[in-house]
Amino acid sequence: MFDETFIAMGIRRIAIIGSGIAGLTAAIKLKEQGHDVSLFEKSRGPGGRLAAKRVANGSVDVGAQYFTSRNPEFLPFLTRFAGNSSFTTWDGQFGFQGKDGQWQEFPDEPRYVGIPRMTAVSRALSAHVTVTAETRIERIVRNDNGWVLSDRAGNVQAVEFDSVIITAPPAQARDLLVQSNLPEQAAYLDDAVTRVLPCWAVAAHFKETPWPRHEGMRCDHPSLFWVANNSSKPGRKGEDQGGRGSWWVLHASSEWSQRNLETTPDQVAAELIAAFRELTGSDLMATDSVTHRWLYARSEGGSSPGHLWFPEQDIGLAGDWLSGGRVEGAFDSACSLVSAYVATDASR
Ligand SMILES: Cc1cc2nc3c(=O)[nH]c(=O)nc-3n(C[C@H](O)[C@H](O)[C@H](O)COP(=O)(O)OP(=O)(O)OC[C@H]3O[C@@H](n4cnc5c(N)ncnc54)[C@H](O)[C@@H]3O)c2cc1C
């Protein structure tokens, strides 16, 4: 009876795998179209690479540092579904280092951050949808009623889904398609898998400001790619230890991260903090640090089709890697997949 009513009303049951910005955007937009949407997330909470790590008195953003809003639909979407209180602009000096080692200023454009951490945005978005966390989907199999999802623990979801949307990074998405005996669809991801690069992230606390010139900077250094003063972001004051000092985020270059994939976190922290001191000429010692290894951090190069949609199988893929990388790319990709989905729906 329930299913018949669903069919009569054109409501489709859609499973979305991954609750980063792409998964959350697709879920909210498809729910707005009247569909019955369920999100599955392998981690403890939503957000994906919008990630923060706990430190004394607060947290530090170890994944995406900020986002832009060049697509005029992005800010209105965030304002409507995440609310103005979950994000704001991060003002300050942003620079990059030329080949000659000299610092130049970044182009002036608004940069946005979640408050008090990047995950505030994903958390607020996730309030509009149903997220089943700590559930890594390993296989999807089609029966007469639709797609059946099973997770790593061998549990099978009780409901069959009309459509499945995968928003995991390409290596994880391809594994899932291969496990699900969908080699043709998996082959579309072969090139993208090779273009996603790892990144070691270290957050280090200093009692005094080691570098007053920039709040965020892209470096031309063999081991460092990006450095930011996390405590300069709005809403982070409580992270100072005893009201003094600041937390700095150091992201290693892709090449260095690749070479040091198996280096211990302590050694990574020691090397990147030493590189930071060398870069800034500061002799300050870090008083605390935390480390995170991203196996799939950034996509570089390649084509940007926006999304992948296989209407015969009712399977779609979205994610930053399909739309130029970055937070905003994840949003753009989800929007373009939803448009394709709605167009197919209209012609069914
Ligand atoms: C170190 C670093 C710095 C960055 N800096 C910036 C920046 O300054 N500005 C910017 O715009 N972008 C930045 N980015 C990129 C930005 O974070 C991403 O582009 C964006 O967050 C990707 O969103 P997404 O939804 O496509 O993927 P993700 O956020 O990766 O979401 C995918 C989700 O799928 C889940 N998942 C994977 N496999 C499964 C499975 N089998 N079952 C269930 N769940 C699964 C994952 O746990 C994850 O939550 C940075 C990224 C990193 C790592």
Q: What is the DSSP string of 150-196?
A: EETTS-B-SS-BSEEEE-S-HHHHHHHHHHTT-HHHHHTTHHHHHHE
Tell me, which fold does domain 52-119+196-299 have in CATH? Polyamine Oxidase; Chain A, domain 2 (3.90.660)
What's the confidence (pLDDT) of residue 202? 98
2-47+124-193+302-346 belongs to CATH 3.50.50.60 = yes
DSSP-H helix ranges across the chain: 2-8, 21-32, 74-81, 119-126, 170-179, 183-187, 190-195, 254-259, 265-280, 326-346
What's the confidence (pLDDT) of residue 301? 78
What's the confidence (pLDDT) of residue 69? 95
DSSP state of 84: G
DSSP state of 232: G
Which of these, 35, 26, 55, lies nearest to 168 by C-alpha position? 26
The structural domains of the chain, with segments of one domain joined by +, span 2-47+124-193+302-346, 52-119+196-299
Q: Is the CB of 40 under 6 A from ligand 1?
A: yes
What's the confidence (pLDDT) of residue 9? 72
Q: Is the CB of 249 under 6 A from ligand 1?
A: no
Q: Give the number of the atom of ligand 1 that is nearest the alpha carbon of residue 23.
A: 25
Q: Give the number of the atom of ligand 1 that is nearest the alpha carbon of residue 51.
A: 17
What's the confidence (pLDDT) of residue 102? 92
186-245 residue pLDDT tens: 999 999 999 999 999 999 999 999 999 999 999 999 999 999 999 999 998 655 545 578
What pTM value is reported for the model? 0.96
68-120 residue pLDDT tens: 999 999 999 999 999 999 999 999 999 999 888 899 999 889 999 999 999 99
Q: How far apart are CA 348 and CA 34, in angstroms?
A: 16
Task: Tell whether the model's pLDDT for residue 5 goes beyond 90.
Answer: no
135-191 residue pLDDT tens: 999 999 999 999 999 998 888 888 999 999 999 999 999 999 999 999 999 999 999
What's the confidence (pLDDT) of residue 1? 45
Q: Is the CB of 176 under 6 A from ligand 1?
A: yes
Mean pLDDT of 52-71: 94
Q: Enter the tokens of residue 100.
A: 């000659």
Encoded amino acid at 316, one letter: G
Encoded amino acid at 235, one letter: G
Q: Whole-number mean pLDDT of the chain?
A: 94
